[in-house]
Every structure is written in structure tokens, then in C-alpha cells.
Chain A
């Protein structure tokens, strides 16, 4: 994603990017996607919106209450989002600091219970499934602890999975 900033992208480039990501979920090949896929598409274009932001976008682009979104509606809205850099990536240090805020006793790690409590009760809470998956990825199994410094490194942007 970084090299795209090095020279300004043209609008037609942006259109192509958005269309390609959109079409990945266009299962019926008729330029529509299920509204529930919009968040994935928006994320994949390098944006870091909150759930509230996403709901707003979806509300703007959904065809009434059909549950579907058409490319013609999505394209202009998303183009604007990208041109404005509306949801820029979160710098790694901010994530690290966020974990440190939660790690009140400065242990360098979080317990499973602690993390679960924060993720499922505060902010824009995780579903049980999301929480399970996060623990599966981040938990250091032997001791039930999340070493967040490693985790942040592991799940870096565009990192190739090891």
C-alpha cells in the first residue's frame, strides 16, 4: 500500500482498484455484492474505519433494505473516501500504546481473561467468534498469555504469513 503514496494516484487508478476488490465478491457477476461484504472490501482498500464508520458507509450505499449494494452506487462513495484518505492506517506505535494502556500493571503481557473482557465488553465489542479467533492467533498457549509486542509485529500490515 505504501508505494501508492509515492506518486499521486489518478482517479481512474482508484476506480480500477475499487472495482477489482468489489468484483471479488460479485458472485453473480452482475455488479452487486451482499452488503455484509462491504466492510471487507473497504478494509481491503487499505482503510481502517471503525464499525460506526462502516455502518455509515453501508447505509449510504445499500439499495434500500434489499441487503445488496450496486457498484454504481459504491464507486463514487468509495472514491471520495480514498481521495480524502478518510480512514488512514493506524501507526504501529499507536496499537502498541493502546495495548500498554490496557496492561495496567505494565507486565508486558495481557492475560486471556483481561483481553477478552476489554474486547467483548468495551468499545465496539467483538462477537464470541471474533474473540475466539483472536485468542487462537495471539495467545501464547502454554501460559494463556498474550505477549502483545510480538502480536503487533506478527500481524503487521501486508505481512506475508509465516
Chain B
């Protein structure tokens, strides 16, 4: 490792050798971090998409639920307007949040942003007013907005925000507020996951009302009330507006269905939330009644006679909002998301060519750097929610584009402290979150895992090789993760390369008290389906009152037991229902019921002998 300096002084040579050693050592360390970062990324993505797939699979079964989706809305829009009217809502003197006047003005939106920055809440009256105005405006917009960029103004395009108000404010700070001189496109997924989804909507709608020709909103797959049931937006609204929440949600349902589907800039650049498929035809898309597609799961509401036509229309829209690009050629159904497709570079060429377009800008997927090109730079993904999985997991970005139609991406990262995390800190935190999420998934599948391990352990020694551990785990979880690389983080102890799998499974248990439970499979099934349960219950509770009757409860359990392939006796259900009804008024508080399904309380019920 010498530097060949010939007549070098020994001391200097020694220093150089020392420096070389340190450099080598440090670079190895950085590389290990990089590997862990990639693994962590893979974990989050696979769990996230597996979750979304479950969501779409919650298809209503049986008469009880399907009637909820029947399109019996013969009411005219004017009747709805009366229902949503804000006029009856009084603002008390005690309210010290912002007061708005209409028509909406730039001052009004600024006031709104200031208030939200100071964590104030807008009164329900004003919320209903803004939403009402927005609804009226959106009804006049086409499915595809045609925009042109000229020399004096560049357009800004933002991707997913997912309720992260910090990021929106950061974008406005870095890039300036929307105005006639500063047009914006917001490319969907404004809500869910983050805790300020409603604030983001109100700000975006505010700007839309003030600058209707310069602010453009595209619908994302999360602008869908069924998805909102699971991913947090419904909960957020009901939590913030206990009295008017239901009405607000209903109005938002309509607004979401009226959001435009795409934008085209200078006839050359297509901006849409998800992407395309090989059948995407914008001329057809522009003629669909987009507001009739309320959500990705509205298919079951369709009457037999016009099923085929409607199915095709819904398909067009689902493709635009749910699809992802893939490196291989072709177009295949998107099994991971459960809706839309995976489309290849050949499809990009074809669809862009068909419409004389040169670039597709889309969002929908989180990217480490906030943006990513693919398909020969013809597709650009833009994602604006930084720290999406965990603090430090990724940057956000937005696009600036002038008349040359060349996209320039600007990155940022919102951080609670003003210092940026070091590489090591951000990887560490993100990794811990990912590993925790992964351990939860492993715990949930522990019966299947044990069974899979036992296949490699015919003599019942309790030990299997690391190789077999990796194979078995992969076959059960099907997440396609690099288990061998993750192994050191998940399996802390090995005996000469062998894993004591029963011990390992035991150690996986989350910090729950060790209680003797007779039938652990029920627990696991419950926990595994926790989010599905909540979704189903919220579907039952149609008036969002938070209460369900014993009868409805019974029906739900019957539905669930067939969905989950479990046997539950009628008596068990009745007993369970009665024990849930704490105030004995013949109805069950949905919140308390959901609490019971958190592991701890459920165990308590079992202990009490209820189940």
C-alpha cells in the first residue's frame, strides 16, 4: 500500500499508510449504511403496497352492505346544496380562530395559512362555506385541464402531500405562493396518513377559489372516501369536527368525485396522478362523467343493464389514478396495489405518441430523492411528502417548468429541528421504524412461520439453518425482501449458523404482557385484520354516528367469519356484543369496539372468559 515515493521519510510514509487505513475503514462504513438504507426502503414499500392491496380487496359481500352503494341518489344537486348549507351554522363569540369573508380573497387564504401554522382550527361554518364554493366551481371544470405556459410565468407542479402541512408550507416558502404569475398544479393525494389533511385541502381549495385559472388540482387515488376510511382522513375529520364531521365528509366525497383527472400543458406534457395503461385514450377520458365514479370500489353499485359500459369507464379512471411504471415492456395488472396496471416503456412510447405528447409527469410513488425519471426520461415521478416513512427517509421535490417544457426539480426536506440529520442518524431512525413494522408483520404470521420452519426441521430439533430461515420466511411473508441481508437485524442470536426458531418467534412478540390464551389463532387473525375490521365497521356505520345496533353487529360478524374463514357461534357473538355495550342501551360504540380489538383489551376479554 506504499505510495512509491522512493526516498520518503519513514514518518511520512507511516502517516500516509495510516490515512489510507482510516479512509478504507470509513468508506466501508458508509457503504454498509447505504445497503441498510436500501433494505429499509424495500421494507416500507412492500408493506405499504401490500396494505393498499388489502384495501381494494375489501369488496362488499351480501345484501347487507351492497345496498349502501346502490346509486339511489335521485336527489338533484339543489337538494344537496340545501343539505350542505352553512347558513344554519352559527359561530359563537368564544371562537378565536380565523373569520373568513366570501368571495374568497388572497387575504382570506393568507389568514387561513397563518391560523393553521399556529395550530388553530377553522370553524365548521367556514369549512362548509369553502367546500360549498369549491364544489360549485369544480362542477364546471372539464376532466382534463388544458394549460399553457408562456414566457413570463413558469408553472410549478407538486406531487403527493399526504396531509403533511409542513411540506406544503415549505414549498410555498421556497417557491412562492400561487398567483396569476405563479401557476401551480397539485397532482393528487392531498390527504391520508399525515395529520393535517383537512388543512391542506382548505388551503388548496382557498387558492383554487381565488385563482381558478392558475391553480389546478388533479384527483389522486386517495381522494376516495373508501380509502380515507382506512388511511386516516375520515378519522381526522371526525376527530376535529365532532358535530359537523359527517356532513363535511359527505360534501368532500362529492368534491373528490368532481376533481379533474389530468392536466395537459401546451399539448405536450401530461400530468396525472398514477399513470397510464395501454388502453388510455384521452379523448374518451375527457367525455366520461367523472363524478359518477366515486371511488375505486364503486363497481358493485352498478346495475346489470349498463354494467359493461360503466365498467370500462371506471377502468379508464382507475388506470389513471392507480398505475405504476415498470422497467419491462408490456402492460400487466397491478397486483401489488390491486388496481390499475404496471406499464412499460413501450406503452409510454405508444400512448404519448398517440396523443402527440412528449412527457408524462406523475406521482403516486415515494422516491428517495423526491423525484425520479424513467422510461428514457419520458416519465417523471414527483413526490412532495418528505420524511414520508420516517424522519430522514426521503426528500420531497417539486417541478418548475417554463415554455421550453424542460422540467427542473427542486428538492427539500422538512425537519422539525433546523439541523439536518446526519446520514447515520437518518438511516438509524428510519431503519428502526422499518424493523419495528417488519417485526409486527412477522409476529402476525407466526403460526404460518412456525409451520414453514418445521418443514425444514423434520427431526424436531428446534434449529434450522440461516439459509432455510430465509427461504421459509420469504415463502410466508411474500414481501420479496432480501432476508439474508436483513437477518443480522432480525435474528440476534445464532448457534453456529443455526437459528433456534421457536425462541426467535417468542422474542418477536411485541411488548404485550404474556397471558395464557387458549386459542392464539383468533388473536392473530384479529390483529392481522385489524385495519380491515375498522374499514368494514365504518362502512356499516353509514351515518357516521359511531354507533351500531346489535343486529348490525351480528350481521357484521357473520360477514367477517365468512371473510376470515372462521367459525363463530351465535351465542359467542351475542355474548361479545353484550359485553361491549358498556352503557347497556342496546347499541355499541364503534370506538370502544375497536379498542377491544387492540391486543391488550382483547386479551382482557379472553381472560374474563367472555370468549
Decide: B16 and A123 in contact? CB cutoff 8 A.
Answer: yes
Closest residue on chain B to residue A102 by CB atoms: B18
B279 within 8 A of A: no
Decide: A101 and B14 in contact? CB cutoff 8 A.
Answer: yes
Which single member of A30, A40, A50 contacts B20 (CB below 8 Å)? A50
**Mostly helix, strand, loop or mixed at chain A's interface?**
helix
Decide: B35 and A133 in contact? CB cutoff 8 A.
Answer: no
B22 within 8 A of A: yes
B328 within 8 A of A: yes
B547 within 8 A of A: no
Closest residue on chain B to residue A100 by CB atoms: B18
Binding site for B on A (CB under 8 A): 3-4, 6-7, 13, 16-17, 20-21, 23-25, 27-30, 39-40, 42-44, 47-51, 90, 94-95, 97-99, 101-102, 118-119, 122-126, 130, 133-134, 136-137, 155, 158, 160-162
A51: B residues at CB distance < 8 A: 23-24, 27
> Quick one: which of A30, A47, A136, A161 has the most chain B CB within 10 A?
A161
Closest residue on chain A to residue B426 by CB atoms: A161
B488 within 8 A of A: yes
Q: In the bound complex, how far is the Cα of B16 from the Cα of A94, in angstroms?
A: 14
Within 8 A of A (CB), among B1-48: 1, 3, 14-32, 34-35, 38-39, 42
Which single member of B1, B18, B327, B423 contacts A50 (CB below 8 Å)? B1
A102: B residues at CB distance < 8 A: 15, 18-19, 22
A137: B residues at CB distance < 8 A: 422-424
Q: In the bound complex, how far is the Cα of B423 from the Cα of A29, in angstroms?
A: 27
A20-B484, A43-B27, A133-B30 known; A30+B327 contact, CB < 8 A: yes
Q: In the bound complex, how far is the Cα of B326 from the Cα of A29, in angstroms?
A: 9
Decide: A4 and B31 in contact? CB cutoff 8 A.
Answer: no
B458 within 8 A of A: no
* 16 more A-B residue pairs beyond the given contacts A43-B28, A101-B18, with a C-beta to C-beta distance below 8 A: A6-B496, A17-B484, A20-B482, A30-B327, A47-B28, A50-B20, A90-B21, A98-B17, A98-B22, A101-B15, A102-B19, A122-B15, A133-B423, A137-B422, A137-B423, A158-B488
**Mostly helix, strand, loop or mixed at chain B's interface?**
helix
B333 within 8 A of A: no
Q: In the bound complex, how far is the Cα of B281 from the Cα of A30, in angstroms?
A: 30
A6-B497, A24-B38 known; A119+B422 contact, CB < 8 A: no
Q: In the bound complex, how far is the Cα of B28 from the Cα of A29, in angstroms?
A: 26
B203 within 8 A of A: no
For residue B472, give the distance in angstroms from its CB to the closest CB of chain A. 15
For residue A156, give the distance in angstroms from its CB to the closest CB of chain B. 9
Decide: B25 and A90 in contact? CB cutoff 8 A.
Answer: yes
B1: A residues at CB distance < 8 A: 50
Q: In the bound complex, how far is the Cα of B328 from the Cα of A122, in angstroms?
A: 45
B28: A residues at CB distance < 8 A: 43, 47-48
A24-B485, A126-B23 known; A16+B18 contact, CB < 8 A: no
A7: B residues at CB distance < 8 A: 496-497
